Structure 1
């Protein structure tokens, strides 16, 4: 029934901000179109330490970044000129397409009172959209439908699931949900998708007599109908969709073509990807292959 169990690994994005990295995983690179998943926090720091967490401008191609907060707030600035504060319950959906640069800064000490905690995922784009124009949209909580029943609260972040839909623009069939379960609640997964995953943010689950803990991603393929049971108050992220085919990932770049990754590396090094006009004093340089820079996973050999 369970295709693979992925245990999050500790990683640093190079500025003192430690994260739990879930995707990519060497035995399972993607779940549907989702190719990257980081869980940061909860982080409690003093106001004097706050700016040290900033992620300086860095580039992306061939993907959409999806930022979702449980606590704190982050200021997004990008090369389109967008400046947007994201707060808990909102969604920042940035489509890099042919190339964009952005920063993520932590500028309001009062927003850290409850601790910074966020999930960032990357959604790979279909080949026809990999070179689309960059775009950014912030979606407010009232634009993201909520469903409740006994023991269940859930918000649809994107896609279609459990009869819910919203106007978050996606490029391929997928679902992405924030789910909160009360102890003893039985719950299942959306139907009609080839690949589906359950990430445990906090709490714990039981399934078929086995127990699962925070930081674990349970991945299922089509043809199964798992039933999970919350053992305590439990927060989950459900995600999945239809696979897009092979993708290469190096640092912050995703593409169906190796040569496009090489072009993106050259473009960033030569300054051909614009910096955010209101955040261009510093940026993250192209890393060496053995480094672990901020803003994305460690560069890895294209294979």
Structure 2
């Protein structure tokens, strides 16, 4: 039933730790999901810097930020300035190019507090790689939920279990937040053999679950075989993110850029280095420079450079 298990690799971002899950050297994508970070959990002391990601560019993808605790303030060069809080969804489509920052609000820095969430990148299909950039923010009411007998489920994006979230996805996918009480049994959305999605995976944020006859815990991404239909059992109270979708084709990834051609990556690098991508008007005093290294691009089935966050 299990195709692969990926362990989150811990990365210290200067007082803030993330677990890097995707891309992985042996598994670059799950459906259109090409990047996945587990942010925290962290507890910022009063006066600590918190999250402080300077303006940086993206092309060829949509970003999805989802929090369990804390708050992040998003600003972009389309003019959007939006805090994201637990249970809400920030969906930013880069398309032909966007610049944004992600920071802890100064008031939140002064008081400190928790930070815990997930950030995903979703590669755009070929026909939408050069679409106009866009930003959408969705509150909890835009996400279908289910709550019964120890199983809480929220459909964050896409379609699953006969429901559809409001997030304007660009290709077939699903992204579900489960909260499972001890002993609860459930199942992921259907796989390829049952008319569902071709690729699926479970990421255990906290707790411990059984998938088939194997047990998995916090920080593990469990990639399910395409035709398997496993039963999931919570060994302990658990938080699980369930994701999947249809592949969009091979992608190159370099720093913050995702594209189907090397020429497009090279153009994005040149545009950022030359200052042709406008900074957010309310956050234009600094930015992340184009890195000198790594200096190569990679296909989506090889190791490669990733996001600064």
| Band the TM-score falls in, shorter-chain normalisation | over 0.9
Aligned to 1:7: 7
The residue that corresponds to 1:294 in the other structure is: none
Report the Cα distance in structure 2 between the residues aligned to 1:47 and 1:264, rounded to whole angstroms. Answer: 38
- 1:289 offset after TM fit, Å? 1.6
Q: Which residue of 1 aligns with 2:270?
A: 266
Q: 1:250 to 1:220 in 2, by over 3 A?
A: same
> Do the aligned residues in 2 keep the contact of 1:72 with 1:113 (CA within 8 Å)?
no
Q: Give the conservation status (yes or no) of the 8 Å contact 2:47–2:110.
A: no
Per-residue Cα deviation, 1:80-121 (whole angstroms, up to 9, x for no partner): 011001000000000000000000010132797651111000
- Return closer, same or farther for 1:111/1:75 CA change in 2, 3 Å cut-off: farther
Among 38, 62, 73, the alignment partner of 1:64 is 62
Query: Counterpart of 1:134?
Result: 133
Q: Which runs of 5+ in 1 are unaligned?
A: 292-296
Matched position secondary structure for 1:266: helix
Could you report, residue by residue, the CA deviation over 1:112-160 in whole angstroms, capped at 9, with x for unpaired residues?
Answer: 7651111000000001000000000100001111112212101001111
Aligned residue in 1 for 2:236: 232
Change (3 A) 1:111 1:144: farther
Which residue of structure 2 aligns with residue 283 of structure 1?
287
Question: Counterparts of 1:64-143 in structure 2 under 5 Å?
Answer: 64-107=62-105, 108-109=107-108, 115-143=114-142
**How is 1:25-40 mapped onto 2 (pairs within 5 angstroms)?**
25-40=24-39
- Residue of structure 1 equivalent to 2:143: 144
Coordinate RMSD, CA, aligned:
1.7
Correspondence for 1:55 among 41, 48, 53: 53
Q: CA deviation at 1:223?
A: 1.1
CA contact (8 A) 2:44 2:113 kept: no
The residue matched to 2:48 in structure 1 has which SS? helix
SS at match of 1:273: coil
SS at match of 2:131: coil
| 2:299 paired residue number | none
Q: Matched residue of 1:142: which SS?
A: helix
**Contact 2:11–2:19 under 8 Å retained in 1:** yes
Determine if contact 2:153/2:176 at 8 Å carries over to the other structure.
yes
Tell me which residue corresponds to 2:169: 170
Distance 1:88 1:287 in 2: 32
Work out the CA distance in 2 between the residues paired with 1:12 and 1:57: 20
How far off its partner does 1:209 sit? 2.8
Paired with 1:160 and 1:135, the residues of 2 have a C-alpha distance of 21
CA 1:298–1:116: 2 relative to 1, 3 Å? farther
Q: Which stretch shows the higher mean deviation, 105-114 or 161-170?
A: 105-114
For 1:245, the equivalent position in structure 2 comes to 249
Aligned length: 293
SS in 1 for 2:279: coil
Cα distance in 2, alignment partners of residues 199 and 193 from structure 1: 17
